[in-house]
A and B are shown apart, each in its own frame.
Chain A
Amino acid sequence: MRLFLGFVKKEFYHILRDRRSLFILFGMPIIQILLFGFAITNEINHVNIAIFDHSKDVTTHEIINKISASSYFTINQLINNEKDIESVFKKGKIKAVLIFERDFNKKLITNKSPTVQIIADATDPNTANTISNYINAIIQTYVKEINKDVPVVYQINAQSHMVYNPELKSVFMFVPGVMTVILMLVSAMMTSISITREKELGTMEILLVSPLKPIQVIAGKVIPYVFLSVINAMVIIVLSIFIFKMPVQGSLILLGFESVLFIITALALGILISTISATQQTAMMISLMGLMLPVIILSGFIFPVGSMPLPLQIISNIIPAKWFIIILKAIMLKGVGIMYIWKETLILLAMTLFFIILSTKKYKIRLE
């Protein structure tokens, strides 16, 4: 035991004296969570639009006023010529043009249903979609308003109610994802690098010719990172609660246990990577290419797994991050207990055991 503690102490010296890895350990989570929280958002705000009004009457004026009164849009330009539409889009500042047809008010009164055309810049399809939906909604509200005294026959009212994230904040979606990516990256990459560093510097040779058992070397490498990753997870949760008002509906203790489980999964993967790579460079490349991309793309962090083609959906099942994100969202947003996520937890546990067994099998007791 004293042997083992001595080894763990040495690992802490390594980590604390290496400024670069310290920065990766603690700087990156904070930067990433702030970046994802503030910069990446699906909501729209003060989008510049242009108006091409053929009729310039009371109704169109009222609609334009409604639109400019909302904080979503800023009316930047009024166009009077058909040809200008293309040129304003080409300049890039205007994201949508609203065209009111001729005799708008007259048609409305005579019950001929006038049309408003929305032309949106779809170089960014998501934004274009959102813009068109928002404008539509404003116009619909206006229509209801002017119709409120008229009895309408046969009408269906769709009433949507968003649960778990009523304000549709995208940060609620990113926090679990970012937390997963960071824990995966820090745990897997840092352990694999720290083991391969011993190989590269030749110190592994001395460690092998010593009474230290392989399991002691592996555990000694892993324990400091479990400790640091738990701190990381706490930093991320505290940041998201206080800065982004992210709710944690479920039990914090359960959240803690699940996080530790995932950290161990990632560490086991890191050890596995270190057994197949001879240099720090290789270990880093494998961690980045082999772990980061699947974690970001196939885990449901950004793109919903359900809308992927079937082969990718099947592949996504072997990615531990997918299951952890499901667990995180369930605990943080839905506030469920272990009864609802035992299946995902069990899958993670099985994966962890598999990686640990595989890496202890692959750990070389000699240099070959």
Chain B
Amino acid sequence: MSITLNHISKSYKNVQALNDISFNVKAGELFGLIGPDGAGKTTLFRILTTLLTADSGSATVSNFDVVKDYKKIRNSVGYMPGKFSLYQDLTVEENLNFFATIFGTTIKENYDLIKDIYVQIEPFKNRRAGKLSGGMKQKLALCCALIHKPEVLFLDEPTTGVDPVSRKEFWDMLKRLQQTGITILVSTPYMDEAALCDRIAFIQNGSILEIDSPQEIVKHFSKTLYNIRAHNMYQLMESLSHYKHTFSAYPFGEYVHYSDNRMDMNPNELHMYLVSKGLNEIIIEVTQPTIEDTFMALAK
């Protein structure tokens, strides 16, 4: 096991940030921590990277205890905090050089590892890091976290505030890095990125809701899910939220995702209800739940 957590709890003054968290990450796994802002993701990262100590419970990274062996962990992991944390007044190359140096290595030594990412920012290597675009900053930060060839890589919301194209490129890189045997723990508030992980953990209000692979986790959605649309989407949402059998209804792309609170629900009945509310061009069809639907249902 590359990372283990046993009953980790942590609270700040009067906020319970983490509540009895336990899970394991296998060596070489790309593990995603999925949850909204304030769910406790950053606290969890900080405990694993030895920056904070838990109130109770124990955790190991690469078989080192996060409290007792914190120095060994600090030597062997790569950490990319959620906030951009490089030196803005240093150039791209100087930043990378600095992080290589303080980890006792050189850019040349581990160039293979960062090559794919670095070639994209190399044209700007003399530009100050503060003047880079969001996506570029994240790529540079990833390079800096990787430059010493860590065994475990911690990425705290690496794609927040990054454009969709750069996000996709970033995840492609993570997949390639995984091939080199690095264990990656990544957190994200984006559900579409969750599907790219080997396994994901849903986290909310400091508790783990469910852990499984993206393919399996949707099976935890026990109800039938419907796509519904009509000529007036706003009125449709209004009507559905007043329908007595509604279990959940929320906009999802061009549809409303609807689930019923009865096991034997008849779509025609709902259709008639919606017509009675003055809606037309109504479409009701069964659809497959996504990771996001599953999260919404579990978080309810």
Q: Which residues of A contact B (CB under 8 A)?
A: 2-3, 5-7, 9-10, 13-14, 17-18, 201-203, 205-212, 365-368
Contact = CB atoms under 8 A, between A and B. Distances in A.
Nearest to B71: A211
Interface string B16-44: 00000000000000000000000000000
A10 B98 contact: yes
Interface string B67-94: 0001000110101010111111110001
Q: Is the interface of B mostly helix, strand, loop or mixed?
A: loop
14 contacts: A2-B104, A6-B98, A6-B101, A9-B98, A205-B51, A205-B85, A206-B85, A209-B74, A209-B77, A210-B99, A210-B103, A211-B74, A212-B102, A368-B52
A210 B74 contact: yes
Nearest to B98: A10
Contacts of B52: 366-368
Interface string B98-127: 110111100000000000000000000000
B75 A201 contact: no
Contacts of A201: 85, 87-88
Given A3-B104, A13-B89, A208-B51, 16 more contacts: A7-B98, A10-B90, A14-B90, A18-B89, A202-B84, A206-B79, A209-B50, A209-B74, A209-B77, A209-B79, A210-B74, A210-B99, A211-B103, A212-B102, A366-B53, A368-B52
A209 B104 contact: no
Given A211-B104, A366-B53, A368-B52, A205 B79 contact: yes
A202 B94 contact: no
A203 B79 CA distance: 11
Interface string B42-59: 000010011111000000
Contacts of A7: 98, 101-102
A212 B51 CA distance: 14
A205 B49 CA distance: 10
A10 B77 CA distance: 22
Q: Most chain-B Cβ atoms within 10 A of its Cβ — which of A9, A10, A202, A368?
A: A10
Nearest to B53: A366
Given A10-B90, A209-B79, A367-B51, A203 B103 contact: no
Contacts of B51: 205, 208-209, 366-367
Contacts of B83: 202
Contacts of B102: 3, 6-7, 207, 210-212
Contacts of B53: 366, 368
A3 B83 CA distance: 24
Contacts of B89: 13-14, 17-18
A13 B90 CA distance: 7
Interface of B: 46, 49-53, 70, 74-75, 77, 79, 81, 83-90, 94, 97-99, 101-104, 144
Nearest to B77: A209
A209 B45 CA distance: 12
Contacts of B84: 202
Contacts of A13: 87, 89-90, 94
A202 B81 contact: yes
Q: Is the interface of A mostly helix, strand, loop or mixed?
A: helix
Nearest to B145: A206
Contacts of B88: 201
A368 B70 CA distance: 15
Interface pairs A-B: 10 shortest CB-CB = A6-B101, A202-B85, A202-B83, A209-B79, A367-B51, A17-B89, A211-B75, A209-B49, A205-B81, A203-B85
Contacts of A211: 74-75, 102-104
A3 B101 contact: yes
A254 B46 CA distance: 49
Contacts of A18: 89
B86 A203 contact: yes
Contacts of A205: 51, 79, 81, 85
Nearest to B85: A202
A17 B91 CA distance: 11
Contacts of B144: 206
Nearest to A204: B85
A203 B51 CA distance: 13
B104 A203 contact: no
Contacts of B90: 10, 13-14
A221 to B, nearest CB: 14
Contacts of A3: 101-102, 104
A201 B74 CA distance: 20
Contacts of A206: 79, 81, 85-86, 99, 144
Nearest to B100: A6
A36 B86 CA distance: 41
Contacts of A5: 101
A14 to B, nearest CB: 6
A3 B74 CA distance: 15
A44 B129 CA distance: 56
Nearest to A202: B85
A237 B64 CA distance: 55
Contacts of A366: 50-53
